[in-house]
Amino acid sequence: MNRRILIAGGVAAGASAATRARRLDEQARIVIFERDSHVSFANCGLPYYVGDVIKNRNELLLQTPERFKRRFNIDVCVRHEVKSIERKGKRISVQNLDTGNNEWHGYDRLILAPGASPIKPPFAGMDSTNVFHLRNMDDSDSLRAHVDTGKVHRALIVGAGFIGMEAAEMLAHRGIKVDVVELTPQVLPPLDPDMAAMVALHLREKGVSLHLGSGLEKLVAREGKVTGVELASGRRIDTDLVLMSMGVRPNVALAKDAGLALGPNGGIQVNERMETSDPAILAAGDAVEVVHSVTGKRVLIPLAGPANRCGRLAGEVAATGTGPSAPTVAGTAVVQVFDQTVACTGLSRKAAQAAGIEARHIIIKRPQHVGYYPGSEMMTIKLVYEPKTKRILGGQIVGGSGVDRRIDIIATVIHFGGTAEDLAAVDLAYAPQFGAAKDPVHIAAFVADNQDRGLVEHVDSEDVVSLAAQGYQIIDVRSPDEFANGAIAGAINLSVDVLRAEHHRLKPDRPILVYCQVAQRGYYAARILHGLGRDDVVNLAGGYAAYSIYKRAAEHLTVS
């Protein structure tokens, strides 16, 4: 008798599960039940369709029910929602959302891929015609149609996560004035504050108004439309459109009602083969808890990559009864924010501290390829590592071209439990237009290793004021011309090239903070002074470039 594999939910996890199962079992009867109107679409491309960068919506439709049937012999029922699971009888109740009819379908293996739903705060006015979410094709169609009327001059986005940042750029691309409201005091909460500050400043330079550290308090609606919002700070912002981008919650009601075990974070609990507490039922996607690559703990990471890979495994196990262990997930992500590329993987410094993991970090600024080849763009890399083991815990990068490649290298090292020494030893391709013989990730690893071996001690920009108050001598080791164009208050200029000859000018009874533009010459200066007998020298991480961003952020990115 042919195996019956039923799948509740399509898109990334469900569609990947279905096609993998078919490739491994040609005789199985495979059916996908999808409650939305589209079974497989590129949800990561939705903001770009709204922004008219992707002009043809059909390009976002990866598969249709007809293609699934023609190529894979998989039956797809859109607008059909799985309402309940009868585990003892191994059957599910499915409702046709267009007719209201319910039918029972038996299974040998059931795969749950219910995904996650946008967080919808309980505000009056949420049902207004100009309040939107951006989770599926219908959402993007509605939002784009509203923008296409030409009557939207100002838009407000609630939430400064990845989708919020993409939407901010795309709405600005359509000529709309954009306000972003974020409850936390920074954009892109997965980043550390110092890295997020660079993104925030860039957004403001592009005309986006940020309201950080103050959540949404109230929607002001009139005649079925929102005309403005009120923040917890008391501020009122007028708007023609509200996009809710406050994150998602896993859709676990179906699993919970069926008595399946949930994990510590409220997601569906699965084993290493994506099997739930009922071996006949598997699960994958945004509703499922996965194992974090660094902490080893169960977490919810609603990203397309893990959903696709875990869905593929669930399909294999459903079809064959066996399969490899589920991959761990580092939460690797990348987003384009106007002219910046922002990426992260693993743990931030603050996340490591919250997890109780001892962590140190370094910050470097390097061009994506050698400076003598035209078009080089700078990137800032923050590498977080565990001092006792030198294990890489995470990385964050903000820059231009080449950021995606570097974050993937760091993510790969994290996946294999690698150290700073391992990262420094990775053999990477080099040509002048692509990188450098010492790639930026190599430099980051070198700096982390130097710090861990006690060759240099780094301090952050936020530490400068307190160190000055403690009596540190602040020495700018750049050239006189650079110094004249801007320097830290109270610093004296002593170029690294004359430091050996002029070090006697430094007070012997006061510790020293050295800095240059991006910290490289500062490191040289610290080693020179160490060789001359000074063991009380620290180097400013990221140099004056990082410090100037920190100062601008402190001055302009205030809580609204």
Q: What are the residue numbers of the active site?
A: 44
Of 90, 93, 112, 81, nearest in space to 7 by CA: 112
- What is the β-pairing status of strands 75-78 and 458-459? unpaired
* Residue 411 DSSP SS3: helix
Say how far residue 216 (Cα) sits from the centre of its chain.
22
| Residue keyed to tokens 């400013």 | 540
Query: Residue 96 — φ and ψ, nearest 5°?
Result: -80, 110
Which of helix, strand or coil describes residue 34? strand
Q: Do the Cβ atoms of 417 and 379 come closer than 8 Å?
A: no
Paired strand residues for 220: 228
**Cα–Cα distance measured from residue 406 to residue 381, given in angstroms and rounded to the nearest whole number:** 9
3-state DSSP assignment of residue 137: helix
The DSSP string of 282-302 is EE-STTB-EEBTTT--EE---
Identify residue 329 by its one-letter amino acid code. Answer: V
Supply φ then ψ for residue 78, to 5 degrees.
Answer: -80, 160
* Two structure tokens written together for 7: 């799948």
Question: Taking the chain, what is the end-to-end CA distance rounded to the nearest angstrom?
Answer: 65
92: which strand partners? 85, 105
Phi and psi angles of residue 495, each rounded to the nearest 5 degrees, phi first: -55, 145
